[in-house]
């Protein structure tokens, strides 16, 4: 082998290692920041990490395991997979992966696939019923194992997509929260990947060679409206890098006085004869008090 070829092989490997380390650090930093910013995990928590076999949940588990090693608080991680009995689901993949990791885990077996097929009217998408059933089973299981938190693998792109889905098709300014209490009040759901970009997670998944289980085993197509929004955001990312991050930031910097929801801001309070609170934070300044 020629010396030049050998050198370029070494430098490729060095670059790969350098880029991988940098990406790993960035993802861990973003997850650590989300956990701290939203008080996602506290001392003594038992966190049930929902693992579907997709890149996002693998990445979430991988990063949480790594953060736990040096975390200032002691918490437990339990991986849980719901085997929905979809045709062709490779039953051994997750148990083998999780056993090798040495993390405690459970696989719940529930044939929601048949129920979903029975309950979904012909021509309608199966996802709404499927997600509701899955959520119910996972939340119930969290109670059973005494989990204090349920971690889901939604990332920043999911959050922005949901924002546009709700705006375009639901007429509401609403995205996905980093932390929420379930409707029945029994579970706290957290989204540790809240600050992470999907492209970074995909790359991390390739680097770590996660054993991905295809997400189309049920035969259903991903929601077409979500697909359209995904491709719109992809175009924006190419056209103007940083725009999607900026939208994600805007969800965290809401100025109710400059929107139109009277339930969030008391517009009747505005009166030129009174001392008003003038919010100039949206102009980059500190809020000030001023008399009109």
**Binding residues for ligand SF4 (CB under 6 A):** 126-127, 130-131, 218, 220
Nearer to ligand SF4, 87 or 241 (CB): 87
Determine the Cα–Cα distance for residues 211 and 172; give it in Å rounded to an integer: 37
User: What is the smallest separation between the CB atom of 213 and ligand SF4, expressed in angstroms?
Assistant: 11
Nearer to ligand SF4, 89 or 105 (CB): 89
User: What is the smallest separation between the CB atom of 227 and ligand SF4, expressed in angstroms?
Assistant: 12
Burial level of 192, CB count in 10 A (0-12/13-18/19+)? buried
Nearer to ligand SF4, 34 or 165 (CB): 165
Q: What are the helix (H) ranges across the chain?
A: 3-37, 55-69, 93-101, 112-119, 127-144, 156-170, 198-208, 224-239, 243-250
Nearer to ligand SF4, 207 or 217 (CB): 217
Determine the Cα–Cα distance for residues 192 and 45; give it in Å rounded to an integer: 14
Length of the chain: 292
Nearer to ligand SF4, 93 or 127 (CB): 127
User: What is the smallest separation between the CB atom of 272 and ligand SF4, expressed in angstroms?
Assistant: 53
CA dihedral 284, 285, 288, 290 (to 10 degrees): -80
Nearer to ligand SF4, 193 or 218 (CB): 218
Name the packing angle between helices 198-208 and 55-69 (round to 10°). Answer: 80
Cβ partners under 8 Å of residue 45, min gap 6: 73, 75, 76, 148, 149
User: What is the smallest separation between the CB atom of 204 and ligand SF4, expressed in angstroms?
Assistant: 22
Q: Are 60 and 153 in contact (CB under 8 A)?
A: yes
User: What is the smallest separation between the CB atom of 131 and ligand SF4, expressed in angstroms?
Assistant: 5
User: What is the smallest separation between the CB atom of 164 and ligand SF4, expressed in angstroms?
Assistant: 19
């Amino acid at each position: 082998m020629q010396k030049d070829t050998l050198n370029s092989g070494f430098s490729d490997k060095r670059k790969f290692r350098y880029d991988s380390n940098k990406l790993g650090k960035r993802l861990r930093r973003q997850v650590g920041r989300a956990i701290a910013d939203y008080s996602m995990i506290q001392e003594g928590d038992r966190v049930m990490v929902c693992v579907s076999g997709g890149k996002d949940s693998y990445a979430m588990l991988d990063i949480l395991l790594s953060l736990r090693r040096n975390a200032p608080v002691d918490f437990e991680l339990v991986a849980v997979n719901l085997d929905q009995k979809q045709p062709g689901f490779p039953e051994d993949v997750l148990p083998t992966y999780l056993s090798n990791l040495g993390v405690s885990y459970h696989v719940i077996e529930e044939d929601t696939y048949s129920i979903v097929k029975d309950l979904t009217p012909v021509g309608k998408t199966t996802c709404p019923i499927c997600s509701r059933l899955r959520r119910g089973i996972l939340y119930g299981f969290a109670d059973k194992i005494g989990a204090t938190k349920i971690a889901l693998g939604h990332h920043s792109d999911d959050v922005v997509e949901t924002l546009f889905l709700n705006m375009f098709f639901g007429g509401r300014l609403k995205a996905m929260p980093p932390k929420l209490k379930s409707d029945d009040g029994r579970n706290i759901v957290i989204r540790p990947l809240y600050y992470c970009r999907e492209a970074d997670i995909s790359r991390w998944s390739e680097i770590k060679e996660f054993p991905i289980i295809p997400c189309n085993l049920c035969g259903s197509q991903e929601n077409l409206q979500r697909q359209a929004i995904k491709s719109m955001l992809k175009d924006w990312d190419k056209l103007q890098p940083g725009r999607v991050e900026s939208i994600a930031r805007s969800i965290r910097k809401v100025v109710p006085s400059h929107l139109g929801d009277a339930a969030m801001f008391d517009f009747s309070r505005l009166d030129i004869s009174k001392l008003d609170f003038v919010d100039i934070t949206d102009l980059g300044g500190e809020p000030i008090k001023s008399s009109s």
